[in-house]
Structure 1
Amino acid sequence: MSALRSLQARLALCLAGVMLVAAGIAGTVSYRTAFHEVNELQDDQLRQMSALAKRRHLATPYGLQDLDNQVVDVGARIMVQVLHQGAWGDVEGAELPLPLAADLPDGLQTLEVQGQQRRLFLRTLPGGERVAVSQGTAVRDEVAHNAGKTTIVPIAALIPVLALAMIALIRHMLAPVLRLAQELDRRGDDQLAPLDDSDVPSEVLPFTAAINRLLHRVELALAQQRRFVADAAHELRTPLTAISLQAELLAGLNLGEQARPRLQSLQRGILRARHLVAQLLLLARLQGREDAHRDAVAVGLVCQSVLEDLLPLADHKQIVLTANVDMACSVRSDAMDLSAVLRNLIDNAIRYTQPGGQVGIDIAYRGAALHIHVSDNGPGVPEHERELVLSPFYRGAAATGSGSGLGLAIVHNIVQRMAGTVALNASGPGAGGLTVRIALPIPSTESPALPTPDVLHFQ
C-alpha cells in the first residue's frame, strides 16, 4: 500500500505500462512488416527463376538439368518444372514430377501438393511451354518468422534499458522534493526560515508555498509565546523582589512562635517563585536568541565557579559533592550557556536528592566528544518519563524536590544548540538514582592556557 502512495512508484508503473503497450504495438507492426517483406522477397526469387528460364528458352521436356538440389535441404529446395507436350517434366535430384494440373493459370499461387503447402509461380514461355517454379511454404515461413524475430529483439532489449533510464529520470526530477523533505527533517524546533523553492517543479510550488506560510504563522505564534513568557517573568520579578524585602523586614521583627514558622514557609515560597522567574527568563532568552559566535571555553573553570556557588545549598542538605574534571577540556560555546548547563544539572541533582545523599560530576574527553556526567543517588526518573522531563514544566510523579520543571528543558535547549546530545540513565540498581550524560562536539585543537592543575578534584 505504501508503494502505491508513492508518486515516484505510480509514475514508474504508469510509464512502464505505456512503454510496454507501445513496445508491443511496435514489435507487432515490425514483425508483421518483416514477415511480409521476406515473403515478398522469396516471391521475387520465384519470379526471377522463371524469368531465367524464359531467357534461356527452355525446350527440354525434363526442365532445368543444372540445378544442384542435392546440397540443399529438402524443405528449402526450389523446384522448377516445365510443361512440355501436356506433361510436367522431372527436376534432377528430386522425386518429381509434382502432380500439377496442366490448366493452372500463370502467376503466383499457393497450392497443397502431396499434403504439403507450396508457393508456386507459373509462366508461359515464348515457345508455348510453361514453367512452374515452386517452394515449400514451411521453410519460407520459417525464414520470415526468423526475420520478424530479429526486429523484435532490439525492442525487447531496449525495454529494461528504457525502464532504468525512466526511473533515473523520475528520481532526478523529484530530487528537489526529496531535498526539501531532508532539509525539514534536519531542522531544529526553532528553525522556521522559509524553504528554498528555487529549483522546485512548478507543480510542487503551491505545496511549498503553503508550508512556508505555515512556518511563518508558527514563527509568529512562538515569538508571541516567548514575548508573553518574558514579559510575564519581568512583571513578576519586581513584585517578588518587593515581597522578598518585606519578608526580610518581617524576619527582623520580634514575631510570636506561631508566626515564625509561617514566615519561614513564606520565604521558601518566595525563593521558589524567584527561582522559577529566573528560569523563565533564561528559557525565554535562549528561545528568542539567534545562534551567536562561540569561542573555546574552559570547562573546568566554569565548573569550579558553579560548584563554589552551589556548595552552600549542598551543605544545607548535607549532600557530598564530588567532582573529577579534566581542566584541559574546552568546548565551543558561550560561557553563560555552559554555566547554565552545569548549574541546572548540579542544582537539580542537589534539589532532588535526599539529605545526606551524594552528587558526582565527571567531565573529560572520551572519543570524539566532551562528556559531562552528573550523577546522584536520589529517587531517579522512571524510564518512561526520561524523555518527558526534558520538556518545560514537566515533573515526574515521584518528584519530591523544590524544582520548577525547567532545569532539564533549559539544558536540553542549550545542548541542542551546541549540536550535542542528552541522555538520562539510572545511576543505581534498578531505577534508583539518575545520571545525566551530555556529549558535546570537540572544538578545534587549540586549548586555553590554564594556570590551574590538569585535573580538578572537588569534595
Structure 2
Amino acid sequence: MSGLRSLQVRLALSLAGVMLVAAGIAGTVSYRTAFHEVNELQDDQLRQMSALAERRHLATPLGLQDLDNHVVDVGARIMVQLLHKGAWGEVEGAEVPLPLAADLPDGLQTLEVQGQQRRLFIRTLPGGERVAVSQSTVVRDEVAHNAGKTTIVPIAVLIPVLALAMVALIRHMLAPVMRLAQELDERGDDQLAPLDDSEVPSEVLPFTAAINRLLHRVELALAQQKRFVADAAHELRTPLTAISLQAELLADLNLSEQAQPRLQSLQRGILRARHLVAQLLLLARLQGRDAANRDAVAVGFVCQSVLEDLLPLADQKQVVLTANVDMACSVCSNTMDLGAVLRNLIDNAIRYIQPGGQVDIDIEYRAAALHICVRDNGPGVPEHERELVLSPFYRGAAITGTGSGLGLAIVHNIVQRMAGSIALSASLPDASGLMVRIALPIPATDPSSLATPVLDVLHFQ
C-alpha cells in the first residue's frame, strides 16, 4: 500500500498501463492488417494460376490436360480442375474429390465442398473451357495467422525494453527530487539554509519554494528563541548574584535554629538557579556559533582540568571518580566545546548518583574514532526515555537529582557539531546505572604530536 503512494511507482504503473493498451491496439491492428493482406496475396496467387492456365491454353490448346486433375502446389494445397462436357474433373492427390457445380460464376468465391470451406477462382477460357483454381481456407488462414504472429513478435519484444527504459527515465527525471530529500535527511537540526532548486523540475519548484519559506520561518523562530534564552539568562544572572551575596551575608549573622535550615535551603536553590543560568548561557553560545575554527585538542589535559574542577562536588557527595585516559588522544574541536562535553557528562553523573557512588571515565582510540565513555552506578535512565533526555529541559519522572535538564542536551548539541555520535545504555546487569558512549572523528593531524613524553596514560582516582 505504501508503494502506491510513491509518485515514481504510480507514474510507472500509469505509463505501463497506457503502453500495454497502446501495444495491444497496435498488435491487434497489425495482426488484422497482416492477416487480410496475406489473404489478398493468396487470392492473387489463385488469379495468377488461372492466368497461367489461360496462357497455356492459348499456346497449346491441349496443354490444359497437363494441369487437370492435379494438386499444383502441395504445400499451399492449390488445386486446378477443368470442366469437361459439363462436369468438373477429379483432382489427383486430393483427399476427397471436389464436386463442383457446372454453373458456378466466374471470379473469386468461397464455397463449402464436402464439409470443407474452400476459396475458388473460376475463369472461362477463350475456347469455352472453364478452369477452377481452389485452396482450402484452413490452409489459407494458417498461413495468414503465421504472418500475423510475425508482426506481433517485435511489439512483444519491445514492450519489456520500453518498460525498462521508461523506469530508468522516470528515475532520472525524479533524481533531483530524491537528491533534495537526501540532502534534507542528512542535515543537522541547525542547518536551515535554503534548498538548491537549480536542477529541480519546474513542476516541483512551488513545493521547494514553500519548503525554503518554511525553513526561513523556522530559522527566524529559532533565532528569536535563542535570543530570548540568552537575554533571559543574562538578565537573571545579575539578580541571582545579588541574592547569593545577600544569602552569604545572612549566613554570617546569628540566626535562630529555625532560620538556619531555611537559609540552607535558600542557598541550595540559589546554587541550582545559578547553575541553570550558566547552562542556559552555554547552550545559547553553542547554538549561536558555527563549527569553524576547530583544531586538534589534547583530550587528556582537558579531562584532567575538568576532573580537578569537579573534585570538590564529588567530595561533597562522597562520589569516587576514576579516569583512564590515553594522553595521546586528540580530537578536532576546541577546548571550550570538549570541556563542556566532559564537564556536563561527569557533572550529570555526580549530581544524579546516590552518595557513595562511583563514576568511571574512559577515553581511548578505537575503530578509527575517539571513544569517550562515562558510566555510573546510579539509578540510570529508563530505555524509553534515553532519547528524550537529549532534549533541553527534559527530566525523567524518576529523577531526583539537582540537575537542570540541560547537560545532556548540551553534550548532544556539541557532539552533533563535531560529526560524532552519542549512545545511552544501562551500565549494570540489572539495567540500572547509566553509560554514555561518545564516538568522535579523529583529526587529520598526527595525534602523537600532542602526547607528552613522560605521561602516556592519565589515571585519576
Deviations 1:152-191 (CA, angstroms, capped at 9, x unpaired): 1111111111112112211211122221111111111111
1:55-454 equivalent positions in 2, closer than 5 A: 55-57=55-57, 59-60=61-62, 63-65=65-67, 69=71, 72-73=74-75, 76-94=76-94, 98-447=98-447, 448-451=449-452, 452-454=454-456
Deviations 1:24-50 (CA, angstroms, capped at 9, x unpaired): 111111111111111111111111111
Paired AA for residue 456 in structure 2: D
Corresponding residue SS for 2:51:
helix
Paired AA for residue 240 in structure 1: L
What is the TM-score with the length of structure 1 in the denominator? 0.94
Paired AA for residue 63 in structure 1: Q
2:457 to 452, 455, 458: 455
8 Å contact from structure 1 (residues 88, 97) kept in 2: no
Query: Relative to 1, partners in 2 of residues 1:292 and 1:62: Cα closer, same or farther, differing over 3 Å?
Result: closer
Distance 2:227 2:160 in 1: 60
Query: Relative to 1, partners in 2 of residues 1:135 and 1:274: Cα closer, same or farther, differing over 3 Å?
Result: same
Query: Relative to 1, partners in 2 of residues 1:269 and 1:396: Cα closer, same or farther, differing over 3 Å?
Result: same
8 Å contact from structure 2 (residues 325, 458) kept in 1: yes
8 Å contact from structure 2 (residues 53, 64) kept in 1: no
The Cα shift of 1:301 comes to 0.6
> Mind listing any 5+ residue stretches in structure 2 that lack a counterpart?
none
Q: Larger deviation: 138-147 or 255-264?
A: 255-264
Corresponding residue SS for 1:63:
helix
Distance 1:95 1:220 in 2: 96
Corresponding residue SS for 2:177:
helix
The Cα shift of 1:295 comes to 0.8
Distance 2:177 2:5 in 1: 15
Deviations 1:278-307 (CA, angstroms, capped at 9, x unpaired): 100000111122222321111001001111
> Mind listing any 5+ residue stretches in structure 1 that lack a counterpart?
none
Paired AA for residue 181 in structure 1: A
8 Å contact from structure 2 (residues 72, 78) kept in 1: no
8 Å contact from structure 1 (residues 352, 399) kept in 2: yes
The Cα shift of 1:97 comes to 5.7
Corresponding residue SS for 2:331:
strand
Equivalent residue pairs, number? 457
Q: Larger deviation: 427-436 or 217-226?
A: 427-436
8 Å contact from structure 2 (residues 194, 216) kept in 1: yes
Paired AA for residue 82 in structure 2: V
Residue 27 of structure 2 aligns with which residue? 27
Distance 2:428 2:256 in 1: 45
For the aligned residue pairs, the C-alpha RMSD in angstroms reads: 2.0
8 Å contact from structure 2 (residues 364, 370) kept in 1: yes
Deviations 1:182-240 (CA, angstroms, capped at 9, x unpaired): 11111111111111111111111111111111111111111000000000001111111
Corresponding residue SS for 1:45:
helix
Distance 1:46 1:9 in 2: 54
Corresponding residue SS for 1:393:
coil
Paired AA for residue 383 in structure 1: E
The Cα shift of 1:251 comes to 3.2
The Cα shift of 1:356 comes to 1.8
What is the TM-score with the length of structure 2 in the denominator? 0.94
Deviations 1:375-420 (CA, angstroms, capped at 9, x unpaired): 1122222222222211111122222221111111101111111111
